Amino acid sequence: MRALLRGVRWYLREIGGSARWDAYLASCAEHGHAPVSRGEFERARADARAGSPGARCC
Amino acid sequence: MSSRIPTQDHPGAARPPRSRTRSIVVWTLVALVGATAWTVLALSRGESVNALWVLFAALASYAIAYRFYARFITYRVLRADDARATPAERLHNGVDFEVTDRRVLFGHHFAAIAGAGPLVGPVLAAQMGYLPGTIWIVVGVVFAGAVQDLTILFFSMRRDGKSLGQMVREEIGLVGGIAALIAVFAIMIIILAVLALIVVNALAESPWGVFSIALTIPIALFMGVYLRYLRPGRVLEATGIGVVLLLAAIVGGGYVEQLGLAADLTLSKETLVLALVVYGFVASVLPVWLLLTPRDYLSTFMKIGVIVLLAASLLVARPVLANEAVTSFAREGNGPVFAGSLFPFVFITIACGALSGFHALIASGTTPKMVAKERQVRLIGYGGMLMESFVAISALIAASVIDQGIYFAMNSPAGATGGDAAGAAQFVTGLGFPTSPETLTAAAAAVEEPSLVSRTGGAPALALGISQVFHSAFGGGLQAFWYHFAIMFEALFILTAVDAGTRVGRFMLQDTVGNVWKKFGDLSWRPGNLLASAAVVAAWGYFLYVGVTDPLGGINQLFPLFGIANQLLAAIALTLATTLLIKHGRLRYAWVTGVPLAWDLVTTMTASYQKVFSDNPAIGYFAQRARYADALDAGQLLAPAKAPDEMQQIVTNSTVNGVLQSVFAVLVLVVVANAAVVVVRAVRAGSLPTTEVPAVASQLVEPAGLFASAGEKAAVAAAGSSGTGSAAEVRR
């Protein structure tokens, strides 16, 4: 049961994008960069991806 | 150095005997359940059959196909190799190339491939009985649809995520490539028009529906601003708020009468067409984060929620099928929902859920750039399509539990039913499904709609089926809520598809025209964006308007075109996969994609031939044209036309549809012919060079399947502790 809850929490963090933010913070720490704010990070990412919206099937 | 998972070269070889015995026992049981369920379905005639038999037959077949056939294709035919780095690993840029956990990518990919298609096709095909649809959905997905998705995903992944059109051009030839490009664009326009038509038919004269769907726009805008400025990146939070608001909008729709909005929100089909065209244009030029992305989150979560809810409620309600196994329309081809007999038209009507060419665009789009390990294509490509097939089976069940009189009253065009309960009851009773005007009025009242007569397009019939299943599973007198909930959920992702599709169409157009007019190809040039968007919207808007005003019924006329177009796109994708297998020197395995290709070509070419050359005006577009043109010249009116301009409309529409149908078929034949030349050369030479990217050793260690095996867990743990932490990105 504990494992299941942990799995659900992990999945939600992965699809919700928190995991990606944490990974960014970790990589900044590793390379000694100062991270940008969460807002700047998410906006840059969203704008970079806007060029390939991806079709949605029927 | 690449870390290899010890058991991956000879799967199963290193397993201890006990787990092997257990595996044999488990799979024998699964096979027995499947065989029993299929036997029950095959032998039941004229008695009541429980829907769960359909469900179990499908699930057992999927499990066996995934375990054995998908594994065979991935390991033996494609020779997916986890020692090779995927584009996500090699080209990682944090934007489109990104190593993504297989379970997360499965969700992304499924959300992109599954929309209204698997819900609508099976509902329309239910006019032929539940059995033809069930067999085609299951057999089709196992041997054709999932195979297409898997192989295209794999080949695109081996080419750094190249698109279908690009691969056809580079691997088959320039002529084939151009034909494929035109076909893809044209098919997309038709798909968008038909999807929009389904929404229009579901919302026309339904103030409740219009109220809740209209509110999705401000809800999505709010979420967009929330995610960009208020609480950046908190996707789950924003989606949670969005879903609550959405449910409130559905409940609120029940009070349109009391709010005094009922008259203003009772919109005609023509008004809705205009609204959709304006929406499509504005949505496709707005920034993605404002409307498209938040709407996508909403529709994805709603989609998964409804599918889980539907599966659970089927298990609780255990409904009995009201539909016959095979109706007389299957043999005689004179059904009111769409014309034509079982072969080839069931295989055209049910595209998504069994075999859908459109998936090849997604499997060669964003997904291949995110796969972590090569062998995960089995889970994502094959598994994702099995999941969509399961949605199609659920939709087929939902449509088959409705009383058949009501089903045919809803799905027959207004020209046949006269558009009112009395006319519909008479028409449907005449078909051999006795019903009364009172039954039809009562069914409409139960879901608080003014009328259910001739609500074609499949969405209303599905919503009625779903509302009945939910109602009997959960009780509580909420049938009207569930009906509008289902309508909302279909409309939501159709609008997402329209929005995204228009944008993709715009990019394709700008890219193509950009070859001759450089400036137009610049995606940041505003006038170019507006012009290209307007062109794409105008194209699908035209077909949408034609469909809405067609006296013969737009779904009746356009849905076959949509289905054939989708299956022809599948023919292009399977041709590419077969050509590539042969070019790679794997002729002995070419049947894996070659057999479904042959089947798909036989059905689509037969259907195209009949739609173009049949002398039955109900089937052949040109026979229909001739019939109405002759009558028009003679000064006569033929039903259902009520005026000479309606006669003219039928003549024009059948001509356009017939020409388009022929063009699609010819384009596909061009690709196939071009491929045949390449195949002959490849067979003579034994193999030919391809554009596959050379192998680079992978540093990643990750399980291949949904669940990690003991060997894989150990390998992941070993990679994590062996001090290669900086090189090996270790995941659970």
pLDDT tens track for B607-648: 999 999 999 999 999 999 999 999 999 999 998 898 999 999
Rounded distance between C-alpha atoms, residue B504 and residue B492, angstroms: 18
CA distance B517 to B494: 33
Cis peptide before B319 (omega within 30 of 0): no
Of A39, A41, A54, the CB nearest to B362: A54
Taking the C-alpha atoms of residue B306 and residue B463, their distance in angstroms, rounded to an integer, is: 12
One-letter amino acid identity for B150? Answer: L
User: Touching check for B496 and chain A: CB below 8 Å?
Assistant: yes
pLDDT band at B31 (very low <50, low <70, confident <90, very high): very high
The pLDDT of residue B687 is above 70 = yes
Confidence category of residue B14, pLDDT binned at 50, 70, 90: low
A58:B504 CB<8 A: no
Looking at residues A3-10, what average pLDDT do you find?
A: 93
Given a cut of 70, whether residue B6 has pLDDT beyond it is no
Task: Mark yes or no for CB contact A52/B96 under 8 Å.
Answer: yes
pLDDT at residue B460, as a whole number: 96
Looking at chain B from residue 89 to 118, which residues have their Cβ under 8 Å from any Cβ of chain A?
A: 94-96, 101, 103-104, 107, 112-118
Contact present, B208 and B448 (Cβ < 8 Å) = yes
Q: How much is the average pLDDT of B330-349?
A: 93
Q: So what's the pLDDT on residue B722?
A: 52
pLDDT value at position B730?
39
The pLDDT value given to residue A56: 81
CB atoms B233 and A21 under 8 Å: yes
What is the per-residue pLDDT across B202-227, written as a single tens digit (0 to 9) for each?
A: 999 999 999 999 999 999 999 999 99
Q: What is the pLDDT of residue B538?
A: 97
Q: Best of A12, A38, A56 to disrupt the B interface by mutation (most B CBs within 10 Å)?
A: A56
Domains of chain B, each with CATH number or no CATH: 17-206+266-685 (1.20.1740.10)
pLDDT-derived band at B15, boundaries 50, 70, 90: low
Query: Looking at chain A from residue 24 to 53, which residues have their Cβ under 8 Å from any Cβ of chain B?
Result: 38-39, 41-43, 45-53
For B236-250, the pLDDT digits (tens) are 999 999 999 999 999
Whether the Cβ atoms of residue B387 and residue B393 lie closer than 8 Å to each other: no
Alpha carbons B501 and B138: distance in angstroms, whole number: 28
Q: Summarize pLDDT for B222-236 with one digit per residue, the tens.
A: 999 999 999 998 999
Q: What's the CA gap between B161 and B374, in Å, rounded?
A: 13
Min CA distance, A55 vs chain B (Å)? 6
Q: DSSP alpha helices (H): ranges in B204-341?
A: 207-225, 235-253, 256-259, 262-265, 269-285, 292-317, 328-332
CA distance B75 to B152: 15
pLDDT score, position B709: 86
B26-35, B45-54, B391-400: the lowest-pLDDT one: B45-54
CB B486 within 8 A of CB B493: no
| Sequence-ordered list of residues with C-beta below 8 angstroms from that of B481, at least 6 positions apart, any chain | B250, B251, B254
**Do residues B6 and B29 lie in contact, with contact meaning Cβ atoms separated by under 8 Å?**
no
Contact B559, B194 (CB under 8 A): yes
How do residues B406-462 score in pLDDT, each as one tens digit? 999 999 999 899 999 999 999 999 999 999 999 999 999 999 999 999 999 999 999
What tokens does B425 get? 């009851």
List the single residue in B with minimal CA-CA distance to A38.
B232
Look up residue B284 and give its two tokens.
């496709």
Closest Cα in chain B, distance from residue A48 (Å)? 6
B570 SS3 class:
helix
All residues at 6 or more sequence positions from B525 whose CB lies less than 8 Å from its CB, including other chains: B519
Token pair recorded at residue B411 = 């799905």
Mean pLDDT across B390-409:
96
Dihedral pair phi/psi, residue B655, rounded to 5°: -65, -50
CA distances from B546 to B267, B320, B336, B651, B661 (A): 18, 38, 19, 12, 16
pLDDT at A54: 77
* Residue A12 touches chain B, beta carbons under 8 Å: yes
Cα–Cα distance list, B622 to B37, B614, B654, B719 (Å): 43, 8, 6, 66
Q: Could you read off the pLDDT of A24-49 as tens digits, one per residue? A: 999 999 999 899 999 999 999 888 88
pLDDT tens digit sequence for B544-591: 999 999 988 888 889 999 999 999 999 999 999 999 999 999 999 999
B162: phi then psi, degrees, rounded to nearest 5: -65, 150
Distance from CA of B289 to the nearest CA of A (A): 7
The dihedral built from the CA positions of residue B506, B509, B512 and B517, taken in this order, carries a sign that is: negative
Considering only the beta carbons, identify the residue of A12, A38, A46 that sits closest to B236. A12
Query: Cα–Cα distance between B574 and A25 in angstroms, integer?
Result: 43
Q: CA torsion B137→B138→B139→B141, rounded to 10°?
A: 70
Query: How many angstroms away from the CA of B389 is the closest CA of chain A?
Result: 13
Which residues, including other chains, have CB under 8 Å from residue A16's CB and lie 6 or more apart? B234, B235, B236
For residue B344, is the peptide bond before it cis, meaning its omega torsion is within 30 degrees of 0?
Answer: yes
Measured distance between the N- and C-terminal CA atoms of chain B, rounded to whole angstroms: 21
| Distance from the A53 Cα atom to the nearest Cα atom in chain B, whole angstroms | 7
Task: Output the CA–CA distances (angstroms, integers) from residue A7 to A23, B84, B103, B527, B672, in the order listed.
Answer: 18, 28, 11, 48, 47
* A53 phi/psi in degrees, rounded to 5: -70, -25
Please report the ipTM that was assigned to this predicted complex. 0.94
Closest to B650 in 3D by CA, of B662, B663, B636, B664: B636
Of A10, A39, A54, which has the smallest distance from its Cβ to B365's Cβ? A54
> Is the Cα torsion angle B206, B209, B212, B214 positive or negative in sign?
negative
Per-residue pLDDT band at B518 (split at 50, 70, 90): very high
Residues 500-519 of chain B with CB under 8 A from chain A are 500-501, 503-504, 507
Domain residues of chain A, as ranges?
Answer: 2-43
Q: Assign B5 a pLDDT band (cuts: 50, 70, 90).
A: very low
Whether residues A57 and B114 touch (CB distance < 8 A) is answered with yes
Q: Which two tokens stand for residue B595?
A: 């057999």
Q: Is A4 on the interface with B (CB under 8 A)?
A: no
Phi-psi map region of B233: left, alpha, beta (phi>0 left; psi -120 to 50 alpha): left
Residue B90 has pLDDT above 90, yes or no: yes
Inter-chain CB pairs, A–B, below 8 Å: 106
Predicted local distance difference test score (pLDDT) of residue B95: 82
Is the model's pLDDT at B731 over the cut of 50?
Answer: no
Across-strand partners of B697?
B84
Residues 6+ apart with CB under 8 A from B426: none
Percentage of residues of chain B with pLDDT beyond 90: 83
Residue B320, phi then psi, degrees to nearest 5: -100, 140
Residues of chain B in contact with residue A18, where contact means CB-CB under 8 angstroms, are 233
Q: How far is B238 from chain A (nearest CA, A)?
A: 10
Mutation target among B190, B504, B536 for the A interface, most CBs of A within 10 A? B504
Once rounded to an integer, what is the mean pLDDT over residues B108-120? 91
Give the mean pLDDT of B301-317: 92
Structure tokens at B727: 């090189």
**Tokens standing for residue A16:** 């919700």
Helices (H), B584-689: 591-613, 621-633, 644-685
**Residues of chain B neighbouring A52 (CB-CB closer than 8 A):** 96, 365-366
Beta-carbon contacts of B351 under 8 Å, excluding residues fewer than 6 positions away, are A58, B117, B121, B357, B562, B563, B566, B567, B570
Q: CB–CB of A14 and B104 under 8 A?
A: yes
* Chain B residues near residue A48 by CB distance under 8 angstroms: 95
Beta bridge pairs of residue B701: B730
In sequence order, what are the residues at sequence separation of 6 or more whose Cβ sits closer than 8 angstroms to the Cβ of residue B416? B336, B427, B454, B553, B640
- Contacts of B325-333 with C-beta under 8 Å, sequence gap 24+, read B325/B41, B325/B44, B325/B45, B325/B49, B325/B129, B325/B130, B325/B131, B326/B128, B326/B129, B326/B131, B326/B132, B327/B127, B327/B128, B327/B129, B328/B432, B329/B127, B329/B128, B330/B128, B330/B129, B330/B132, B333/B619
Are A56 and B500 an interchain contact pair (Cβ–Cβ within 8 Å)? yes
User: Counting every residue, how long is chain A?
Assistant: 58
Would you tell me which residues 288-317 of chain B have a C-beta closer than 8 angstroms to some C-beta of chain A? 288-289, 292-293, 296
DSSP string across A24-54: HHHHHHHHTPPPPPHHHHHHHHHHHHTT---
B98 has pLDDT over 70: yes
Asked if B273 and B432 touch (Cβ cutoff 8 Å), the reply is no
SS3 state of residue B392: helix
H or E element, residue B94? none
Mean pLDDT over all residues of chain B? 92
Span B710-717, average pLDDT: 89
Whether residue A57 and residue B356 make contact (CB cut-off 8 A), yes or no, is yes
Residues of chain B neighbouring A10 (CB-CB closer than 8 A):
732
Minimal CA separation from A52 to chain B, in Å: 8
